[in-house]
Amino acid sequence: MPPQNKERFERLSGLAPVDAVKAWLDGDFGLGDETALISAIRKDARISLSDDDLEDAILDAMDEGMDAPACLERLAGLR
């Protein structure tokens, strides 16, 4: 799905990985922005999950009430 707001998409793409995870956990993005967040999270070279697995792991972290730094560490540890 294409992004609804190009400026927001570009801002999200430019985030540091932990800030992108925080934006995702906080729901601070719109439809079509997931690829921008994934791109920003992948700036952390430790992240090797597929897009689907990355999204699933973040959704699990949301359900568990995990904060962004802990979630990023979990993402980095998953293969």
Phi, psi at 20, each rounded to 5°: -65, -40
What pLDDT, on a 0 to 100 scale, did the predictor assign at position 78? Answer: 82
Residue 5: the pLDDT is 86
Query: What does pLDDT average to in each consecutive run of 10 residues of the chain (79 residues)?
Result: 84 97 95 94 95 95 96 90
Amino acid, single-letter form, for residue 27: G
Strands (E) across the chain are located at: none
Q: Where are the domains of the chain?
A: 6-77
Residue-level pLDDT at 4: 79
